């Protein structure tokens, strides 16, 4: 899932200071090429459910 979507799920949670910065942008600034596959839309609901449960506890 995207960082922006994670921020929507966690809100302004002190233990998850998210950045609205795509990982592709971060990796592009590195010295080694990194291939990013995703986000995978078919898995987002499953991943989101885990985050919703975790950040509410």
- Are the beta carbons of 6 and 20 closer than 8 angstroms? no
The pLDDT of residue 29 is 96
* Full domain range(s) for residue 9: 3-56
Name the residue with tokens 């990194």.
34
The count of domains in the chain is 1
What whole-number distance in Å separates Cα of residue 8 and Cα of residue 11? 6
Other Cβ atoms within 10 Å of 39 Cβ, number: 13
pTM of the model: 0.62
Alpha carbon dihedral 56, 2, 20, 12, in 10-degree steps, equals -10
The pLDDT of residue 7 is 83
Other Cβ atoms within 10 Å of 9 Cβ, number: 19
The pLDDT of residue 45 is 92
pLDDT tens-place string over residues 7-44: 888 877 788 777 778 889 999 999 999 999 998 999 99
């Amino acid at each position: 899932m995207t960082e922006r979507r994670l921020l929507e799920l966690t809100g302004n949670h002190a233990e998850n200071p998210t950045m609205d910065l795509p990982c592709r942008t971060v990796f592009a600034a590195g010295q080694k090429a990194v291939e990013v596959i995703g986000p995978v839309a078919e898995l987002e609901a499953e991943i989101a459910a885990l985050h919703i449960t975790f950040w509410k506890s």
